[in-house]
Amino acid sequence: SQKIEQNSEALNIQEGKTATLTCNYTNYSPAYLQWYRQDPGRGPVFLLLIRENEKEKRKERLKVTFDTTLKQSLFHITASQPADSATYLCAGGGTGRRALTFGSGTRLQVQP
Amino acid sequence: NAGVTQTPKFQVLKTGQSMTLQCAQDMNHNSMYWYRQDPGMGLRLIYYSASEGTTDKGEVPNGYNVSRLNKREFSLRLESAAPSQTSVYFCASSEGDGGHNEQFFGPGTRLTVL
């Protein structure tokens, strides 16, 4: 079955550094990858979408890449801040398939 | 503009009891979704409605039923709750279906089945 896999271990980094989160997909080829942020006790919030024919997408301090050869997306937060601490979810979707498949998320902790 | 609203926020049920989780959106979205989130499992799709009048099963539909009451509202019913249904339930909506549409999520319902 199609899977989106994210590192379940928490990522701890120092304020000001770049955080890099990984999302791998298996058994299918999503046409789109989406990234969401989830804070404790709240619903996910959409951050970025990247299409399979786009190598890279940026939004302010966020950057996401889509590598169809490696079957992987990388999500970067530059100049990280303690307020960036949250769980980040990756989700894959297709043009024909109607629903997104979500990964289990990676928790990011930015230390001041 | 409230976005996606869910009621109740918390619920405790005994095994065998039934209940309905309510969801409404005010963004005039066509598609709506119900997910459950368990520790280490991520969001798993229970049911979705691509448009008013249609519903489809997701990854984990057993033990649940849904109703797309109108364009705004999409409810999830547990007919006979089981401890395995203890979870956090999220409703979401999007303008249309397909992977190019971002989803907007509600605040969640935390359900415990004893």
Which candidate in B94, B103, B105 is best for mutational testing of the A interface (most A CBs within 10 A)?
Answer: B103
pLDDT at A96: 63
pLDDT at B114: 97
pLDDT at A2: 82
Please report residues of A whose CB lies closer than 8 A to that of B99.
30-32, 34, 92-95, 97, 100
B27 vs A: CB within 8 A: no
Q: Which amino acid is at B106?
A: G
- Averaged pLDDT, B20-33: 96
Tens digit of each residue's pLDDT (9 = 90 or more) over A66-90: 999 999 999 999 999 999 999 999 9
Q: A56-59 and A86-93: which strand pairing?
A: unpaired
With 80 as the cut, is the pLDDT of residue B112 above it? yes
Q: How confident is the model at residue B1 (pLDDT cuts 50, 70, 90)?
A: confident
CB-CB under 8 Å, B100 with A32: yes
Please report residues of A whose CB lies closer than 8 A to that of B45.
99-101
Kindly state the percentage of chain B with pLDDT values over 70: 100
Q: B87-94 and B109-113: which strand pairing?
A: antiparallel
Please report residues of A whose CB lies closer than 8 A to that of B108.
41-43
Return the structure tokens found at B94. 């999007």
Euclidean distance between CA atoms B63 and A59, whole angstroms = 41
pLDDT at A97: 55
CB-CB under 8 Å, B99 with A32: yes
CB-CB under 8 Å, B4 with A34: no
Tens digit of each residue's pLDDT (9 = 90 or more) over B55-97: 999 999 999 999 998 999 999 999 999 999 999 999 999 998 8
CB-CB under 8 Å, B103 with A100: yes
Euclidean distance between CA atoms B26 and B89, whole angstroms = 19
Helix (H, G, I), strand (E, B) or coil at A27: coil
With 80 as the cut, is the pLDDT of residue B20 above it? yes
Cis before B61? omega within 30: no
Span of A96-100, B39-43, B63-67, B101-105 with lowest mean pLDDT: A96-100
pLDDT at B54: 92
Tokens 């490696």 sit on residue: A70
pLDDT at A9: 87
Residues of chain A where predicted confidence (pLDDT) is lower than 70 = 96-98
DSSP one-letter code for B83 = G
B58 vs A: CB within 8 A: yes
**A19 bridge partner residues:** A77
Mean pLDDT of chain B: 95
Compute the nearest-CA separation of B74 from chain A (Å). 16
CB-CB under 8 Å, A46 with B102: yes
pLDDT at B107: 97
Compute the nearest-CA separation of B11 from chain A (Å). 15
- Averaged pLDDT, B41-53: 91
